[in-house]
A and B are shown apart, each in its own frame.
Chain A
Amino acid sequence: MKILVAVKQTAALEEDFEIRDDGLDVDEDFMMYDLNEWDDFSLEEAMKIKESSDTDVEVVVVSVGPDRVDESLRKCLAKGADRAIRVWDDAAEGSDAIVIGRILTEVIKKEAPDMVFAGVQSSDQAYASTGISVASYLNWPHAAVVADLQYKPGDNKAVIRRELEGGMLQEVEINCPAVLTIQLGINKPRYASLRGIKQAATKPIEEVSLAEIGLSANDVGVGKSMSRVRRMYIPEKGRATMIEGTISEQAAKIIQIINEFKGA
């Protein structure tokens, strides 16, 4: 029995940050990286199944990303994951969520797990589509925003509860194997102590190249993505301003603003 958990290292911004010169992203200097918040929960869900099962359950975490991602994978290993796989090629820079889903899919085909968990979304890009695209590539059943899961290794069905709008829950029976995207709060993720993380440093992280999963540089990256970031920017703040002065001054100011908006 094997559960594969797809994880991502996400970036949090420092209070004062600057946009990269190319205008496509925030300057890396101002980012603090950590494991995606949702992934803490999906990994914990996998660990719970592993720990309460009589049979052997292998939990494999997979991430697509550069070297720095190892730190987050190590945290997963510290929490008890059995193996960690990291796929990367510089050509993959700029891939959108669907392409990442494609890469993950190839890993999953090789690993042949019985279940795939992912977070509902990532805290930095928030596409909420990586997990679902994996399901689509694999042609597996899937459920999103899973807030409760009843599943034992070997079951061919799982019962899940999904969080809907307005505090409603929907109970769904789903055929397995399946791809589930896990919602925050489904469990209480365990703490990875620093000693645990350090000790996990001795567990190897398998680095996988695109070739090893049957892909090439042409299958990934901006070029292959169906959506591309055009620019990243901070919307202007302080749109409401008090217009001061005499009546005619105020009128003149308003005309000026309107003209600016019209692009004059």
Chain B
Amino acid sequence: MTDPTQITRILFQDFDPKAIYLFYAFGYLAIAIFIHGCYVQVRKYRRGKPDESWNQIFKRFWDMVKTMASHRTLVRRDKKAGRAHGLIFFGFVLLFIGTATITLEYDILEPLFGVRFWYGNFYLLFSLVLDVAGFGVIAGLLYMMYRRKWMNLPKLDYKRVDRQVGDPDYDRSQYRREDWAFLWSFILIGITGFILEATRLVWLSETPSVWDHRFWSPVGALLAHMMEALGMTAEIAGAFRPYLWWFHGLLSLTFIACIPYTKIKHIFTAAASLMFKSPLVGRRLPIIPVEQANAGYKTITDLTWKNLLHLDACTKCGRCQEACPANAVGAPLSPRDVILSLREFANKTLNAKELPAEAELDIHGKSPGQVMQETLWSCRTCLACVEICPVAVEHVPIIVQMRRNLVEAGEMEPILEKTLQTIHKTGNSFGESKRKRAAWAKGLPFEIKDARTEPVDILWFVGDYASFDPRNQKVTRSFAKLLNKAGVNFGLLFEAEMNAGNDIRRVGEEGLYEHLATSNIGTLQSCDFKSIVTTDPHSFNTIRNEYPDFGGAFEINHYTTLVKQLIESGQIKLKKKLDYRVTFHDPCHLGRYNKGYDAPRDVIKLLGCELVEMGRNRDNSFCCGAGGGRIWIPDPVGIEKPSANRMREAGQIEGLDVFIVSCPKDLTMFEDALKTSGFEGQFVVRELIELIDECIEYDVVDITNEAEVITTSD
């Protein structure tokens, strides 16, 4: 039986002490380069504006650890890549811990206290674990290589949609080279590690304390046997080993030194990005501090340190681009390109020792690193990019902040400018008189309460489209009848209701938003009600998530939640079942923004419909194209509209009867799109309320005497 302390690996075995010193010198050099790189990065972040995200730091840290440990965000919509990354990541973590353990004993505990633990059974287990880890890393890397080389994934094509062929930063081939350099150097470190291990085994094949336990390093042992079979002797191995050792060692040190300068830094930046992510990102846009003179982002130094950090976290995975509706229809926007452009810009300007002059910091324009207006205006703030990004990059706040600057400078479509002026003048985007806000209610067989003058349980915030658009007014009337039938004590704000401001804020007209929000909040606060309901997901989002920043905290529900309760509690009786084959489109502001995926589906099922999901559903729902103020800007002719793209998707469902929406803007967008889609006549677009309406029996009594209805309708 060998003495267990003999079962270990002797570090620098048979090395000349000078060589060891040399290695340490290289080691320190690598660390120095690494630290300098980190310093430059941190200095860059510190050149950004302040951000409050330091709160709850431990909770944030813990959440980040959980996300990384589960790889939850990485496996979404690309399981294989996520798992391969998992192999690399966990393998790397184990190898790192392994190396740290050795350092702990060799450089700290043993020289200082004479303590040793890296031998015997612990050593053997250690060897096994690290062998498996190293194998995992190599397997993961091989898959990644295969994926890059042979899978031809469009999302891994870095060619830009917002630049022309021939522009200096058009194809971003530099990134491709970096990707391959990374893959190759990493895999070489792994492979040489194993060969080195095998070489050592062959070299020490006469030493029982090593050779007898070789299968605790299974990969190394296997290789050793293969080498022996190929005729390698202990002498040859001994002679070969130093070269290999130095190659492996120097490559590893170079790798470490390169971390802050290359894509490898995502190890740190992605983790930090996940840690500092905002729980309400996009749902609640940043307010402009009172003392700040200019709105939005004009220069790279207007970005916060957190924004700058997010830029560095991007791993170019392309998932955001793949999810982006603007990108899907060929608009000159890829969320990834926005992030990468700004990152390049930040690295160019903020890594320098001295900050360049103000004029050189302008991030708007067509030069490399700048973002074009057309790009910014193409965004529909649908949040698909933010939602899928595995490393919590927050594109939308940056895009909106940049738009704020464009709005301030008047750089926008004339038609959008007109709409904003109209909204300022009339409080609604239709340019209708305030007095007509509740004109849709004319002809209803009952009076709707004025919530400004009498207390109600539920205040119905109607929103512009539901109030003024003739097609949507029908739906609005149905919903009023439904509430009335259910005996809900509800009321409206009538002419005091203004556009809730959600889309105006997303356009970037922050001043107008503040004006609308504060006046709505003032009106709401003067009313006596328990909660708000709305059929408009846009209003829903801003009242729910953004009004609190302006002093208005209200309980608000989207109508799907309320209707579900009313049906389940029996307040609404469904007199018949529908046997339609339907599909449901998740509105961005209800689904992704507010996680309201289930209530509409539950209602659909309660109605008896057969729900067939489209490929892109729930969190991956495809924006109708109306968000972010784009409803006021006509889409360019010649390219497909996102709504048309969606119709094509729905058209693939066999025997589809109804395409259900639960948002007034969706109704407008999709009814329009259906007309030109070629599917007209095959299926129809309906607001969910209309289907519910079909199932409710409004008896004649309703019209003549509503008071009686409540008591007799059962």
| A residues lining the B interface (CB < 8 Å) | 14-16, 30, 32, 34, 188, 190-191, 193-199
Contacts and interface: CB of A to CB of B under 8 A. Distances in A.
Interface stretch (B180-188, B430-438, B694-702): B430-438
Contacts of B432: 15
Interface of B: 288, 293, 295, 407-408, 410, 412, 414, 417, 420-421, 424-426, 432-433, 435-436, 509-512, 514-515
B509 A193 contact: yes
A197 B515 CA distance: 11
Contacts of B414: 188
B424 A194 contact: yes
Given A193-B509, A193-B512, A194-B424, 17 more contacts: A15-B432, A15-B433, A30-B433, A32-B425, A191-B407, A191-B412, A191-B420, A191-B421, A193-B295, A193-B511, A194-B511, A194-B512, A194-B514, A195-B288, A195-B514, A196-B511, A197-B511
30 contacts: A14-B435, A30-B433, A32-B425, A32-B433, A34-B425, A188-B414, A190-B410, A191-B407, A191-B412, A191-B417, A191-B421, A193-B295, A193-B408, A193-B410, A193-B509, A193-B511, A194-B424, A194-B509, A194-B510, A194-B511, A194-B512, A194-B514, A194-B515, A195-B288, A195-B408, A195-B510, A195-B511, A196-B408, A196-B511, A198-B511
Contacts of B514: 194-195
A125 B407 CA distance: 32
Contacts of A195: 288, 295, 408, 510-511, 514
Interface centre among B288, B408, B510 (most CB of A within 10 A): B408
Nearest to B512: A194
Contacts of B426: 32
Contact of B410 (A14, A30, A191, A198): A191
Nearest to A190: B410
A261 to B, nearest CB: 35
A32 B427 CA distance: 12
Contacts of B435: 14, 16
For B412, B424, B509, B511, the residue with the greatest tally of chain A CB atoms inside 10 Å of its CB is B511
**Which 4 pairs, one residue from A and one from B, show the smallest C-beta to C-beta distance?**
A194-B511, A195-B511, A191-B410, A14-B433
A193 B417 CA distance: 10
Contacts of B295: 193, 195
Contacts of A30: 433
A147 B312 CA distance: 51
A71 to B, nearest CB: 11
A16 B436 CA distance: 10
Contacts of B420: 191
A197 B421 CA distance: 12
Nearest to B414: A188
A14 B407 CA distance: 28
A15 B436 contact: yes
Nearest to A199: B293
A86 B436 CA distance: 33
A20 B408 CA distance: 39
Contacts of A191: 407, 410, 412, 417, 420-421
A196 B515 CA distance: 12
